[in-house]
Amino acid sequence: MSEFVSVTEAALLARDQPKKPWQQVFVLLLAGAVTRAELIARINERISYAPRFRRRVEGWPVAAWVDDPSFSVAGHVRQQRLPAGQNLEQWLAELLTEPLDPEHPLWQAIVLDQVAPGRQALVFRCHPALVDGYDHVHLLQELLDERPVAEIGTAPSWEPQPAPGLGVALSGLRDPLQAAQEVAGGLFGLVENAVRSVTVTEQVQYLATAEVELAAVKVVRNGFACTVHDVLLALVTAGLRGQVRRQGRTAADPVALVPLAINEPAVLESAIGCRIAPSWLSLPVAEPSAAERLSTIATLTRVRADSGQCVRVPELVELAGFAPPTLHAVTVGSVGAGRAHQVLVADVPGPGRARYLGAALVEQVFGCTATTDAEELSVTVTSYRGRISLAAVSTHPLDGWAEDLAAELATLIKEAQ
């Protein structure tokens, strides 16, 4: 069934430009083999739970999500080897600069072989506007199971539905950003206000990942009487501080968009049972002391925590399926709030128990999101099975990212004892 594109979704779609794509990538490192044919069959079996992954956008400036009449799961799934001479981070950084095809649903799944000797990964990229957290979840949330599932069920029958009448569209107009610029007032007057800072200049995207033990982060949390979220923000701050210092730039305190899950009775029946609200704070990058950086962050976040509106982490962890991809997509959608910021930190807790793609164990999970607007750094934080990944995408090189985070955590553990 088709549906019209919301104002928020239009503003998010406008951020995806050919010279500067905006997309989100999830990487699942697997123990066990998955073939392209098996993945196609499994997606066909479950895609009806995420119907927007069969839909494309048509009809600017009055746009709608409509069934792609030529949709084929096979057209969105490929299998390849990690190229010789490239590591996974380098390959992912290049992938983030490749636009998704707007003539078809905005997602792609890649079975990536030889990410390490005998190791395989599922790399899943999509546009965040596909997911709203209410009626539409991420397809990955439906693909993973709590136990190995070797068999694949029969795919439900599906026929594309005709598009609704979309009214008068500008002749040949396919770009939501162009629509926002050319159509004044009404719906697209609101969209225009939400995309004023969108940049379309081509930019290199650098990517780096780090992983820390949740138990080690909890040692710091207990020693400083703060939250795990505070400690993770302190690690991100240290990574940014190291990046600035290595490049000889002046250390300043950037504004960070740090969305939070908020209790709101009106949305408790949504897929995620809460609302993701934008929240901004100044990261103390210029502060030389690790302990003071953490204390400053804890003070800034305590006001929201004391309000009693924040959703408790166990409530998010216990969501059905594999919720982090859905939560991350909704979280980065907060950029539509329109306030200028230089850093985005999307912190989402994941399950402590293992998940499986078919019969293959998901050993490690991390996500990453391309920068947009005036962002210089986008950090995607995801916990899974007692470990936390912090994947950064930046417009500046990220040499030493993992080392800076490890050094900061070691310093904070020492000071917490």
Average pLDDT over residues 367-388: 95
pLDDT score recorded for residue 121:
97
Query: For residue range 251-285, what is the model confidence (pLDDT) as tens digits?
Result: 999 999 999 887 666 555 566 667 788 899 999 99
Which part of the chain has CATH 3.30.559? Answer: 3-194, 206-353+364-416
CATH number given to 3-194: 3.30.559
pLDDT score recorded for residue 410:
98
pTM for this predicted structure: 0.91
pLDDT score recorded for residue 31:
93
Classify residue 92 by its DSSP letter. H
Average pLDDT over residues 222-250: 96
Question: Range with the lowest mean pLDDT among 55-64, 127-136, 278-287, 396-405?
Answer: 55-64
Average pLDDT over residues 133-160: 91
CB atoms within 10 A of CB 134: 13
pLDDT score recorded for residue 177:
66
Q: Is the model more confident about 319 or about 250?
A: 250
CB atoms within 10 A of CB 103: 11
SS (H, E, C) 152-207: CCCCCCCCCCCCCCCCCCCCCCCCHHHHHHHCCCHHHHHHHHHCCCCCCCCCCCEE
| Whether residue 61 has a cis bond before it, omega within 30° of 0 | yes
In angstroms and rounded to an integer, the radius of gyration of the C-alpha atoms of the chain is: 21
pLDDT score recorded for residue 182:
55
Average pLDDT over residues 296-311: 73
pLDDT score recorded for residue 59:
78
Q: In what helix (H) or strand (E) does residue 223 lie, and over which residues does it extend?
A: helix 214-224
Domain 206-353+364-416, CATH 3.30.70 — does that match? no
Q: Is the model more confident about 371 or about 166?
A: 371
Dihedral angle sign, alpha carbons of residues 295, 297, 298, 303: positive
Inform me whether the pLDDT recorded for 152 exceeds 80.
Answer: yes
pLDDT score recorded for residue 272:
65
pLDDT score recorded for residue 169:
47
pLDDT score recorded for residue 195:
58
**What is the pLDDT confidence band of residue 16, given thresholds at 50, 70 and 90?**
confident
pLDDT score recorded for residue 204:
85
**What is the pLDDT confidence band of residue 364, given thresholds at 50, 70 and 90?**
very high
Structure tokens, 71: 């949709």
Nearest to 410 by CA among 184, 259, 210, 141: 210
Query: For residue range 17-36, what is the model confidence (pLDDT) as tens digits?
Result: 888 899 999 999 999 889 99
pLDDT score recorded for residue 214:
96
pLDDT score recorded for residue 170:
45
Q: Is the model more confident about 143 or about 192?
A: 143
Inform me whether the pLDDT recorded for 149 exceeds 80.
Answer: yes
**What is the pLDDT confidence band of residue 314, given thresholds at 50, 70 and 90?**
low
Residues belonging to the chain: 417
Q: Is the model more confident about 122 or about 417?
A: 122
**What is the pLDDT confidence band of residue 168, given thresholds at 50, 70 and 90?**
very low
**What is the pLDDT confidence band of residue 171, given thresholds at 50, 70 and 90?**
very low
| Average of per-residue pLDDT values in the chain | 87
Residue 62 phi, psi (nearest 5)? -100, 95
135 CB burial (10 A radius; 0-12, 13-18, 19+): exposed
Q: What is the Cα–Cα distance from 100 to 98, expressed in whole angstroms? A: 7
Please name the residue that has the structure tokens 């981070």. Answer: 89
Residue 401 phi, psi (nearest 5)? -55, -55
Question: Range with the lowest mean pLDDT among 40-44, 134-138, 366-370?
Answer: 134-138
Average pLDDT over residues 378-390: 97
Q: Find out whether 260 and 277 touch, Cβ atoms under 8 Å.
A: yes
Query: For residue range 197-222, what is the model confidence (pLDDT) as tens digits?
Result: 666 677 789 999 999 999 999 999 99
SS3 content of the chain, % helix, strand, coil (to 5): 35, 25, 40
Average pLDDT over residues 50-70: 89
